[in-house]
Chain A
């Protein structure tokens, strides 16, 4: 692609000016159109980032909450119902990480198996069977996921484990189904883009399929799969409605997986509509959105690093 970029096509030395003018115009129109679109994209992104940042930073500058109190405080009482208002979001950060990591732990093996199934075991009908399944899972709305979680998973967990069934465990199970498509599709892409020679030489050496997968294929595609896992985690991190319905939303670090907990998004979803813009409580919620944005950013940076390693 770079090679093409640097070469202005037929502008300087085309011998037929009439024909060439049309090209020139076409090119100009296309170029301006795409540039406008890209600029619009940038404007949208910048305005959201600016918007969230300006609201989110108010907590620290206007309401005078210190950074460390916000990030590491474990007490959440933004309206000051019990003395001084307190803005510790540690329990939510903990909940967000716990649910998304657990969701990734549940979903990754399943996704990797599904990818292998589609590309290595039965490439023909395996793909025909699983691909639509995966896409459908991605298409089910999160409201429905949350409802199914509350109707099926929560009672099941309540019967099997001590506690009310609500909590991080229920949240991560729901999330794991929701992020399955992300990890699987990235894994499948990576597996199917492997050079065939790699596998064939392994088989030629007398390796079994599992040996080939385990020793040759998986190590080669590991960075890509990790990319998928991290992107899945990022998706889990940002998911709100479904998690909020099954996690319980108590502003505490839970003592077990089956005790009510909160995530950043669940608290934002729960409280945002009930608070008035500009108050300390509302600002604190925006700060959490900012924190969320920052963490997603970190996830993406990790993905970037993984991809770079992959390229070498």
Chain B
């Protein structure tokens, strides 16, 4: 009887705590959306920010966040996958790979402002990329690479050994096994990792202040020449992302509606993360289906 009672109490506690977490999230989301949603309008999403007048928007910032995400993923995914595959499949287990793993983990919880200053001195100044989207993407890659490598490595390692051995028995080359046997199976975890990495791109502020910059030049959205300084798709122009913009108006904004803009921008940012999560999940599933099917045909 006592054991049953304990069981009931414990279950109740676990359920209550879990619901508490859900409540915290709902509260957080509710708070952010409640404060922000009323301020979101088409005008807000598309117009440029104002320094002191009311009615500024977040158009360029929104675009910058998305564009920076694309740029960062273009750099991070191939590099992270490559290094992760190396660690999982090629590297001989030993002191050095152990050390790499160790430092990779240290790096992934390093304060972003330090990495940002590293980016400022090395990427912006020494390499001469200037305050630009590209510098920002490189710095974000530094953040995300450890995460991507770790996740890729784990995903590859968790593929059942039998699958690999079956491939070997068929006389497939190692690279072939990696790309057509292991990769599709590991893909869902890798997609999750990418989502987490992307979340960081949307949310990072401290490191981007010093690399992608805190201001956006006038953008001409009809100019799609990637080398023109006013073109939105020029990767070598400075760009203020949404998170940086929120930070900026929270700290030094003097527009009369600064608080509302910050709230609205926060809501947009959270919605962006939400949509991106859903999209990545859907995309991961799709990719999984396509890839496993292609394996069967090949």
Contacts and interface: CB of A to CB of B under 8 A. Distances in A.
Interface stretch (A71-79, A82-90, A132-140): A132-140
A10 B83 contact: no
Contacts of B165: 3-4
B203 interface: yes
A9 B118 CA distance: 42
A141 B103 contact: no
B18 interface: yes
A156 interface: no
A29 B175 contact: yes
Interface string A10-44: 10001000000001101101110111111011101
B203 to A, nearest CB: 3
B277 A114 contact: no
B18 A238 contact: no
B173 A23 contact: yes
A92 B3 CA distance: 46
Contacts of B199: 138-139
Contacts of A35: 86, 90
A147 B250 contact: yes
A4 B168 contact: yes
A144 B3 contact: no
Given A293-B110, A300-B106, A240 B206 contact: yes
B39 to A, nearest CB: 15
A237 B179 CA distance: 38
Contact of B174 (A9, A47, A235, A304): A9
Contacts of B172: 9, 23
A152 B31 CA distance: 9
A201 interface: no
B205 interface: yes
Nearest to B192: A135
B25 A304 contact: no
A175 B112 CA distance: 16
Given A23-B176, A34-B90, A211 B243 contact: no
Chain A interface, DSSP helix/strand/loop, else mixed? helix
A169 interface: no
From B81, B145, B206, B243, name the one whose CB has the most chain A CB atoms within 10 angstroms: B206
B229 interface: no
Interface in B196-247: 196, 199, 202-206, 209, 243, 246-247
A110 interface: yes
Interface in B100-158: 100, 102-107, 109-115, 117-118, 121-122, 142, 145, 149, 157
A256 to B, nearest CB: 25
A26 B102 contact: no
A26 to B, nearest CB: 5
Interface stretch (B53-61, B265-273, B289-297): B265-273
A190 B149 CA distance: 20
B246 A144 contact: yes
Interface in A226-241: 231, 234-235, 237-241
Given A136-B25, A239-B111, A293-B110, A40 B10 contact: no
A304 B102 contact: yes
Contacts of A216: none
Given A29-B175, A241-B206, A293-B106, A133 B243 contact: no
Interface in B75-92: 78-83, 85-92
Chain B interface, DSSP helix/strand/loop, else mixed? helix
A235 B273 contact: no
A209 B86 contact: no
Given A140-B28, A147-B266, A41 B168 contact: no
Interface string B245-275: 0110010000000000010001001100110
Contact of A42 (B15, B28, B100): B100
A300 B186 CA distance: 25
A141 B114 contact: no
A177 interface: yes
A311 B175 CA distance: 29
Given A5-B92, A139-B203, A289-B111, A34 B28 contact: no
A142 interface: yes
B205 A141 contact: yes
A136 B270 CA distance: 9
A198 B244 CA distance: 49
A296 B106 contact: yes
Contact of A1 (B20, B89, B110): B89
A48 B142 contact: yes
Contacts of B88: 1
25 contacts: A23-B172, A23-B176, A37-B79, A37-B85, A41-B79, A41-B83, A48-B115, A51-B118, A51-B121, A51-B122, A116-B14, A135-B196, A136-B274, A144-B246, A144-B266, A210-B6, A210-B10, A231-B105, A238-B111, A268-B113, A269-B111, A296-B106, A296-B109, A297-B102, A300-B105
4 nearest CB pairs, A to B: A37-B82, A141-B203, A30-B175, A113-B17
Given A35-B86, A144-B269, 10 more contacts: A7-B168, A41-B79, A41-B145, A110-B21, A133-B21, A140-B270, A141-B243, A141-B273, A240-B206, A273-B209
Interface of B: 3-4, 6-7, 9-11, 13-15, 17-18, 20-22, 24-25, 28-29, 31-32, 78-83, 85-93, 100, 102-107, 109-115, 117-118, 121-122, 142, 145, 149, 157, 161, 164-165, 168, 171-176, 178-179, 192, 195-196, 199, 202-206, 209, 243, 246-247, 250, 262, 266, 269-270, 273-274, 276-277
